[in-house]
Amino acid sequence: MANPSLLILAGDGIGPEVMTEVKKVIAWMGDKRGITFDVSEDLVGGCAYDKHGVPLHDDTMAKAQEVDAVLLGAVGGPKYDNLDFSVKPERGLLRLRKEMDLFSNLRPAQCFDALADFSSLKKDVVAGLDIMIVRELTSGVYFGEPRGIFTEGNERVGINTQRYTESEIARVARSAFELAKRRNNKVCSMEKANVMESGILWREVVQKVHDEEYPEVELSHMYADNGAMQLVRNPKQFDVIVTDNLFGDLLSDAAAMLTGSLGMLPSASLGAPMANGRPKALYEPVHGSAPDIAGQGKANPIACVLSFAMALRYSFDLGEEATRLEKAVEQVLADGVRTADLMGPEGGVPVSTSAMGDAIVAALNASL
């Protein structure tokens, strides 16, 4: 049986640094657990533009379509700010999402006990938080037509169109229900059915998918503005939240900050199942390329490491190993090991990017 395949696109800024630490974990999996991946590497973002004149070469796109999963670091930087919009580094990432049809964006918000004091909310509100936001990623107001800036009479008007089809809503709803079955069997769907026709359709379709296919999963509906308030008031009431592209963008960033550090959070973008039954998938940390600290050994690699843990769970059916890796990260944090972004008033052991990766591998060794 062939080894699972993984395409690494480290990208720009701190991307290569944090990805180096993931490679240590991949090597550990082979050495200690006998789990070997066929790993290839390529360019995306600014580094791809520097070499090819485009942020994603066609050959790289073809590779991404063939592998079991893509693991991406980060793209962009001030060096590329003045490029034409069509070749900016971010267009490489957007092309991957579009052409792989990655319609389901998974954004976990997990608060490790050791970092509960980093949240702007009270510790008892966020300690132990573990929720998943499922954001529809390829439709909605960011893609709907008509769109643009037009002149009407003597002034300009900006137009964006919120548009969803039943099938687009149904497939992301199924993604959320399937996730809930692996977790606490509870989904909350968020929209604005009180003022938006697209919200009415969203609620109807999610309810239909539930009733016909997932009646065993607990389903509730909530207006997205109330959902934002409830995330701040009592986030632990939620397990899986499913919502559209715009509200998902807003709610997932709000949930991210409940945990206290954007540098800690992974994400997954999943598409339709391939011939082997696994979904097309792209995994990436939520954080950006952080060009201000690139090359200085200050970057926190945990979000990228946890993105690989998501790949283990959702692309490679290695849930036990994913949990092992997540617990290793939790142990390292409990031991007070901290990159610069995690140094709080209570102190800790300050370490470099590389030393954090070594500490995670050491915790993996201790788990055996």
Do 203 and 226 contact (CB within 8 A), yes or no?
Answer: no
Which residue reads 């979000």 in tokens? 303
From 50, 101, 130, 225, active-site residue: 225
Residues 6+ apart with CB under 8 A from 66: 5
Catalytic residue among 50, 117, 142, 236: 142
Residue 142 annotated to the active site:
yes
- Burial of 225 by CB count in 10 Å (0-12 exposed, 13-18 middle, 19+ buried)? middle
* Of 101, 253, 335, 358, catalytic: 253
Query: Binding site for Mg(2+), residues?
Result: 225, 249, 253
Q: Tokens for 82, please give them.
A: 């003045």
Q: Three-class SS of residue 71?
A: strand
| Whether residue 192 lies in the annotated active site | yes
3-state SS, residue 300: coil
Q: How far is Cα 130 from Cα 252, in angstroms, rounded to an integer?
A: 13
Name the active-site residue from 239, 249, 280, 283.
249
Catalytic position from the list 12, 164, 192, 244? 192
Q: What is the spatial distance between Cα 36 and Cα 343, in angstroms, rounded to a whole number? A: 35
Residue 215 CA to residue 233 CA, distance in Å, equals 28
Q: Is 249 a catalytic residue?
A: yes
Please enumerate, by residue number, every residue annotated as part of a binding site. Answer: 77-90, 97, 107, 135, 225, 249, 253, 288-300
Would you say how long the chain is, in residues?
A: 368
| Residue 282 backbone dihedrals phi, psi, to 5 degrees | -130, 130
Question: Is 327 marked active-site?
Answer: no
Residues belonging to the binding site for NAD(+) are 77-90, 288-300
The answer to whether residue 335 is catalytic is no
**Residue ranges at the known binding site for substrate:** 97, 107, 135, 225
Euclidean distance between CA atoms 277 and 48, whole angstroms:
31
* Residue 209, number of CB atoms within 10 A of its CB: 21
First to last CA, the chain: 26
Catalytic site positions: 142, 192, 225, 249, 253
